[in-house]
Amino acid sequence: MSVDLAFASVIDLARMIARKEVSPVEVVRVHLERIAARDRSLRAYITVCAEAASEAARTAEAALMSGRPSGPLHGVPIALKDLYDTAGVATTAGSTILADRVPATDATVVRRLREAGAIVLGKLHMVEFAYGPEGLNAHHGAPRNPWDADAERMPGGSSSGSGVAVAAGLAPAALGSDTGGSIRIPASLCGITGLKPTYGRVSRAGVLPLAWSMDHVGPMTRTVADSALLLRAIAGYDPADASSSVLPVPDYLAALTGDVKGLRVGLLRDFFLTSATPEVRTAVETAARALQGAGAVVDEVALPNVAHVAAASYAVVASEALAYHTSWLKTRAGDYDPEVRKRLQLGAFISGAHYVRAQQARALVRDEIDAALAQRDVLLAPATPLTAPRLDERQITLGDGPSDVRGALIRLTRPFNCSGHPACAVPCGFSAQGLPIGMQLVGRPFDEATVLRAADAYQRLTDWHTRRPVLA
C-alpha cells in the first residue's frame, strides 16, 4: 500500500518508523522537499532546520537499527511556532526586534518533544509577538491560507504558520500558542485540529509571552488522536513554570474510545451560535446532531456574562503585554509592526483598577462556565463565527450584526482563555466557497481526556478532517 508521507498522521508515521516500514530519513526528506517546493508561496516557515533535521533523522534511524529504545514520537518531524526557544536556532516571535536572538537552551516542551523522539523541522511564521488573530505580519507578509486558490484569504493567527504548515502537508504537526484563540483560530480557518489545554497543563517555560495569565501552549495537528499523542508528550509539571500543575498526565490516547453514549453536550447558542454566519451555524448544529445520533445527550446552555469577556480580556492582555514590551516600546518603537505597536500602546491607558476589575470579571465568567460544566461533560460552539476573511477585509456582517474582523475572529475563543478551560477546535464542514468551518469542544479544567474523546468520536463520524487543500 502506498502512503503519502506528507499527509500521514503522526500516529501512523510513528508506527511505521517503529516497525521499520519507513525510515525517519525518508520522512524528513519528503517534508523538506515539500517545504522547498511549496513554502515560497505558502510562507509557513521563518526558519527551516534542514541540516539539523536531516542529521537528527540519521541519528534516529541508527538508533532504531541498533535496537535502542525509542520514544512515542521517534523520528517524527514536528515544526514549532517561532516563539518556542530552540537551542542554537533563532527564535524571533515574528519580529525584527528579536531577529538576532538565538537561545542557548530549548523551551521545556521542545526538550520534551525531543526526548520523545521528535525531530524539529523548523520555526513557523506568526503574528509579531503573537498579538493579533488575523495571521498578518508586516515584516514577513501573511502566510497563505492553503484552502484559498486565489491567495487572498487570512490563515488566522497568531499561530498562522502552524495552521498553514499542517494543513498543507509541510509538517505532520506543530506547536502553537493561544492567548485569545491563536491555536484555535488558525485551526478553524485552515481546517485542522487545534488544542488549547487547561491553563497550567503544559509548561510555558522558554516560550516568549504575550500575556502571562492568558497564554496557553498546545498542539496543532490533522487529527484529534495526534493532538492526544502530542499532549501526552508535552504536558506535566515543570519547576521552571510556576503556573504548571502537579496533576498527573493521563494517557490521552487511551481515552479515545470512540464512545459518546451518554456524553452530555451543552450547545452554546446565545452569543456563540447566534453570532455565527448561517453556514457556520448550520455546520455546528449538524455536528451536534451527529454527536446526538451517536448517543450523546445534547441540550442548550447559555453563558450570560460571556459578553463581558471582550472588556476583561482586553484589559488583561493589553496590560500584561505592555509590561513585557515596555523597554522596547521606549527604545525601539519604530521597529514594531505599526498595528502591533498601536495595540501595545493602548495598554498605557489602562489603569490598575481596570486590570483588577477585569480579573474579577474573569472569575465571574470562569464560575459561570464551571456551573455549565457541572451538569455537562463538554460544551460545543463554533471556533470562529466565520470562515477565512479576505486579507483586505476589515468589517464583516455576523449573525447578530456588523463587526470588525479582528473582534469577530477572536470573539468565541477568548472566553476560554479568560477562564482557563481546555478547548479543542476541529473542522466541521466547508463553506460554499470551499473554506473550512471549525467548531470547538470545551471541557472541565484538566479534563482534556473527555474533550479529546468527544472530538475524536466526532472525527470518527465525519470526514472533514481528511480533506486536503489543492495547492496550485
Partner 1 sequence: MSEVFDADALSRAARLAGFDWTPQELEPARPAVEAALRLLATLDALPLDAVEPTTQYRIL
Per CB under 8 A, does 329 bind partner 1?
Answer: yes
Contact pattern from residue 392 through residue 431 relative to partner 1, giving x for each residue in contact according to CB under 8 A and a dash for the rest = ---------------------------xx-----------
- 19, 51, 330, 402: residue in contact with partner 1 (rule CB under 8 A): 330
Using the contact rule CB under 8 A, the part of the chain among 42-50, 92-100, 110-118, 350-358 near partner 1 is 350-358
Cβ(387)–Cβ(431) below 8 Å:
yes
DSSP-based three-state secondary structure for 49: coil
Per CB under 8 A, does 332 bind partner 1?
Answer: no
Residue 182 among the catalytic residues: yes
The pair phi, psi for residue 215, each rounded to 5°, is -75, 135
- 62, 254, 348, 371: residue in contact with partner 1 (rule CB under 8 A): 348
Among candidate residues 23, 95, 158, 319, the one labeled active-site is 158
Per CB under 8 A, does 363 bind partner 1?
Answer: yes
Task: Give me 115's grid cell.
Answer: 526526548
Which C-beta is closer to partner 1: that of 39 or that of 128? 128
- 15, 58, 308, 332: residue in contact with partner 1 (rule CB under 8 A): 308
Q: Supply the minimum distance, in Å, between the C-beta of residue 407 and partner 1.
A: 10
Per CB under 8 A, does 41 bind partner 1?
Answer: no
Which C-beta is closer to partner 1: that of 92 or that of 319? 319
Per CB under 8 A, does 366 bind partner 1?
Answer: yes
DSSP-based three-state secondary structure for 215: coil
Residue 81 among the catalytic residues: yes
Q: Give Cα separations from 24 to 258, 310, 383 (angstroms).
A: 30, 45, 34
Cβ(245)–Cβ(211) below 8 Å:
no
Per CB under 8 A, does 458 bind partner 1?
Answer: no
Question: Do β-strands 264-268 and 378-382 pair in parallel, antiparallel, or remain unpaired?
Answer: parallel
Which C-beta is closer to partner 1: that of 278 or that of 352? 352
Q: Supply the minimum distance, in Å, between the C-beta of residue 389 and partner 1.
A: 19
Among candidate residues 81, 123, 159, 162, the one labeled active-site is 81
Among candidate residues 182, 245, 313, 419, the one labeled active-site is 182
- 94, 197, 200, 389: residue in contact with partner 1 (rule CB under 8 A): 200
The DSSP output letter for 333 is: G
- 312, 379, 441, 451: residue in contact with partner 1 (rule CB under 8 A): 312
Per CB under 8 A, does 271 bind partner 1?
Answer: no
Using the contact rule CB under 8 A, the part of the chain among 47-55, 122-130, 312-320, 381-389 near partner 1 is 312-320
Cβ(24)–Cβ(18) below 8 Å:
no
> Around 221, how many Cα atoms within 13 Å sit in the side-chain half-sphere?
26
Which C-beta is closer to partner 1: that of 141 or that of 338? 338
Cβ contacts of residue 8 below 8 Å, gap of 6+? Answer: 16, 172
Cβ contacts of residue 131 below 8 Å, gap of 6+? Answer: 158, 210, 321, 340, 343, 344
Full 3-state SS string of 85-153: CECCECCCCCCCCCCCCCCCCCCHHHHHHHHCCCEEEEEECCCHHHCCCCCCCCCCCCCCCCCCCCCCE
C-alpha to C-alpha distance for 186 and 179, rounded to whole angstroms:
13
For the segment 217-256, give every residue that binds partner 1 (CB under 8 A). Answer: 243-247
- 190, 358, 388, 452: residue in contact with partner 1 (rule CB under 8 A): 358
C-alpha to C-alpha distance for 185 and 142, rounded to whole angstroms:
15
Cβ(60)–Cβ(72) below 8 Å:
no
Task: Give me 285's grid cell.
Answer: 448544529
Count of residues interacting with partner 1 (CB under 8 A):
44
Site residues, partner 1 (CB under 8 A): 198-200, 213, 243-247, 305, 308, 310-312, 314-315, 318, 326, 329-330, 333, 338, 342-343, 345-346, 348-350, 354, 356-364, 366, 419-420, 445-446
Catalytic residues: 81, 158, 182
